[in-house]
Structures are given as structure tokens and as C-alpha cells.
A and B are shown apart, each in its own frame.
Chain A
Amino acid sequence: MDLQVITNNFAFLMQQGFFGIGNFVGGTLRLAVPAMVLGFLLGILIGLARLSRLRWLRWSATVYVEFFRGVPLVMVIFWFWFIIPNLLGKSLPEYSVALTAFVIFEAAYLGEIIRAGIQSVPKGQVEAATATGLARAQMMRWVILPQALRNMLPALVTQFIVLLKDTSLASIIGYVDLTKAAQIVNNREIRPFELYLFIAVIYWLCSYAMSSYARHLEKNLARS
């Protein structure tokens, strides 16, 4: 065990790898946070489409979900990485490719969580909303979604933790996130045990913080 390798490279690992404020375009957070927000928004659309009364919309959403849940994320990242240059005639930066792949992939999982959350709202709520004269869109916006969101929060946070961990896979196309930063340092210092254990702890701290917050939320919501 030689922790000097960590202290010497701490600034690089955290600034470049984790926060993404270094020389490269990179950073775990810079990828994870927009992927969560955009994936969630797309997930809402997918979830709603899965419950739509239009059969073609429901079917295409189902195919979307089943497709992305049956394929490894690595494969999806490779799809975007190798197909975009063929489609556009030029390659896009790793960041755009990774972000697109993550948003599209995670939306399938988030869509299912959102669908389950919407379905967990008692039917009486729909009837009551209709009886008070709300239009379908208004009912979704004001009655169903707020309650559904509350029910799905724990699953949602779990999926966000999964997403945070998954962003490490962006390093396979060369995006400089925390994992890639550790690889870069390791190539110079050859201290794999210490380095990978260290970034494991960083990932764990993030997951732990998020899951503690989820537990806290769950408790609060159960009380109210």
C-alpha cells in the first residue's frame, strides 16, 4: 500500500476525473448530471407513451423499452460511437456520443419506473380529477404525476445511482471521467491496487450519499 500515489494525483483525479474542470472535456459529474436530467425527461415521455391510448404509440414505446433493456450498455455506446461517423460523415466528440447513448439507454429504464409509478396511483384519483372537470393533460400535470413521483422516488434514486456508476463505461470510448483519469495516472505510476481502490471509494461515497438521501426522503414521504 502506497498512498502517496493518491495524494500526488488527488487534484488531477478529482478536478479532471470527477468534476470535469481540467484540461480535457471530461468528468464523471459533467456527464452524469445532464444524463440524469435529460434521461428523466425522455423517460417521462416513454412512460406516458407506454400508457397511451394510441396503440401504435404504446407499441413503439414497448419495443423501445424491451430493446434497450435486452442489450448491454457497452453495446449501445459502441452503436453510437461507430454509427454516428457513418451517418454524419464526421465523428462527434466523446462527450456528445456518451451523453446521447446514456440518455437514450437510461430513458428505457426510467420510463418503466415512471410507468409503474403512474400505475401505482389509485384509480379513484383519475375519476375524481375527471369529475372536477380537468382535461386529460391537466389531470396528468396536476393530479397524477405529483403523486406518481412520490411513489417512484426510491426506485428513481436507485436508477440514478446505477446511472452514476454506468458513466464509468464512457471511458471505453476515451471520455476522461474518473475511471479514465485513474487509468491515465496508472499508466504513469503503475499502482493499480491503490488507484482503483481509491476511485472505488469515491464512487461508493457518491452512491452512499444518494441512497441515504433516498432513505431520508422515503421516511419523510411515508410520514406525510
Chain B
Amino acid sequence: MPVNYQFNWSVLWSGQTGGWLLQGLLTTLQISLLGWLLAVALGIVSGALRTVPFPPLRWLATFYVEFFRNVPLLVWMFFWYFGVPPLLPEAVRNWLFDHGVEFWAGLCALGVYHGARFSEVIRSGIQSIPKTQFEAAISTGLTVAQSYRLIIIPIALRLIVPPATNESLNLLKNSSVALTIGVAELTFQTRQIETYTAKAFEALAAGTIVYLILCLSIAALMARVEKRFAIPGMIAQGTGD
């Protein structure tokens, strides 16, 4: 910092700014959580559709995954915010404009974009289970449903946890892109504090630390879960990342 820069950390909690930060954190958590639910649902559905024996459905799911995950999230933000509402029926549009259209557009963008990426995570997790596991389950006399429930899904879940954690953290961090369409999440509020107090360093430090705490604690928690449920001899134990 140059000599003429005066640190003033109290801007973070004096006046309205503390409330802004808190509100930004809540919005970030809200849009991330809802986006995560949408993304996981879309990931499971599209992942399942890619295995059905009906080609058009398979193509549709492949198209969804390939197209949506290979285009920047920012473009999807603009697409859902500016591009889609004019095409909707009048009643839906009016409802959206009365109920925070930017939040719903941001949610769609996050959920649909990360849904495509979750789909790949789930698919590669399931594909990395050796076929012999299934054959062994059948030969011990389990039915197909039982071997899925007792063998395949427990293994798949454990294999999916590490990449799914990474992807969930990406989703959380990417929710910051929603600031471009005016969702008042954490980064947006950090910007706002910077604008009103001209204390860039303090505002950015506050936002950054909140993101770091969120991401590092989720990562640490999931690393423990991973270790707890590690399959001996199947995945490297305790790699952490």
C-alpha cells in the first residue's frame, strides 16, 4: 500500500455495511444451495438419460451436457437474464419481474450450467466401477435391484464424493458471477461497500476471507467424510484434494 492509503477496517461493521455483507453471504448461500439442488437433479436425470436404449433421449442428454458445460457461465447468466424473459408468457414474466428476476435467472444459469458438469462427474464415477463388481453381485445370488442398492450405488457414491465436492465448491465460487446481472450476493455487496466507502482493500479482504472460510471448511469437512468412508484398496486414502 502507498503511504497515503489509510486503513479503516471499521467501515466493515459501521453503518449499513456490516448488514450488507451479512445479507450478501445469505444470498450467496441461498442461490448456491438452490442452484446445487437444481444442478444435482439435472445431473442425475441427464446422466441417467445418457444410458437409456432410446437414441433421441440419449442425444438430447449428450447435447445438453456438451453444450452447456462448454460455454462460459457469464454468457448463460446474460442469456437467462436478458434473453429468456421476453419469450415467456406475460403472466410468468410479470411474476418474475415482481419477484427478483435476477435471482431466478442467476439460479437457472448456475443450476443448468453446473448440472451439465455434475452429469459428467456422476457418469465418470459410475463408469469407473469395474463391471466385475456387478457380475460378482449377480453370481452371489443378488437380484439386479439388490446389487444396485447394495453394491453399485454405495461404491459409486464414494467414488463420486471427491469430484462432486470440487464441483460443489466451484458452484459456490461461481455464484459470484451472478453479480453481473445484479444479484446482491457476497461479491456484489463487497463491490457496493467499495463504492460507498472507497475502501477497496478492506472490502475485498472481507469478501475474500468469507469465501476462503466457506470453501476451506467445506473442503476440510468433505475430506473427513472421504476418509471415513474410504474403500480400502480402491481409492487413494486421505489425498485431501
> Residues on A close to B: CB < 8 A?
66-67, 69-75, 78-79, 82-83, 86-87, 89, 112, 161, 165-166, 168-169, 171-172, 179, 182-183, 186, 192-193, 195-197, 199-200, 203-204, 207-208, 211
> Given A74-B176, A192-B82, A203-B71, is A86 in contact with B208 using a C-beta cutoff of 8 Å?
no
Determine chain B's interface SS by DSSP, over half rule: helix
> Residues on B close to A: CB < 8 A?
1-2, 5, 66-67, 70-76, 78-79, 82-84, 86-87, 173-177, 179-180, 187, 190-191, 194, 200-201, 204, 207-208, 211-212, 215-216, 219, 241
> Given A82-B204, A86-B201, A169-B74, is A70 in contact with B211 using a C-beta cutoff of 8 Å?
yes
A-side contacts of B216, CB under 8 Å:
66, 70
| Inter-chain contact A200/B79, CB cutoff 8 Å | yes
Chain A nearest CB from B82 CB (Å) reads 3
Nearest chain A residue, comparing its CB with the CB of B217: A70
B-side contacts of A87, CB under 8 Å:
1-2
What are 18 A-B pairs with beta-carbon distances under 8 A? A69-B215, A70-B215, A71-B208, A72-B175, A74-B179, A75-B190, A78-B190, A78-B191, A79-B204, A172-B180, A182-B75, A183-B78, A192-B82, A193-B79, A204-B66, A204-B67, A207-B70, A207-B71
Roughly how many angstroms separate A45 CA and B73 CA in the complex, as a whole number?
29
A-side contacts of B175, CB under 8 Å:
72
Nearest chain B residue, comparing its CB with the CB of A169: B74
Determine chain A's interface SS by DSSP, over half rule: helix
Roughly how many angstroms separate A1 CA and B177 CA in the complex, as a whole number?
27
Contact check: which of A75, A112, A171 meets B74 at CB < 8 Å? A171
A-side contacts of B74, CB under 8 Å:
168-169, 171-172, 179
Chain B nearest CB from A42 CB (Å) reads 19
> Given A75-B204, A192-B82, is A86 in contact with B1 using a C-beta cutoff of 8 Å?
yes
| Inter-chain contact B75/A208, CB cutoff 8 Å | no
Select the residue from B1, B71, B87, B241 with max chain A CB neighbours within 10 A.
B71
> Given A112-B241, A179-B78, is A197 in contact with B187 using a C-beta cutoff of 8 Å?
no
Contact check: which of B75, B87, B207 meets A193 at CB < 8 Å? B87
| Inter-chain contact B84/A193, CB cutoff 8 Å | yes
A-side contacts of B72, CB under 8 Å:
165-166, 168-169, 179, 203
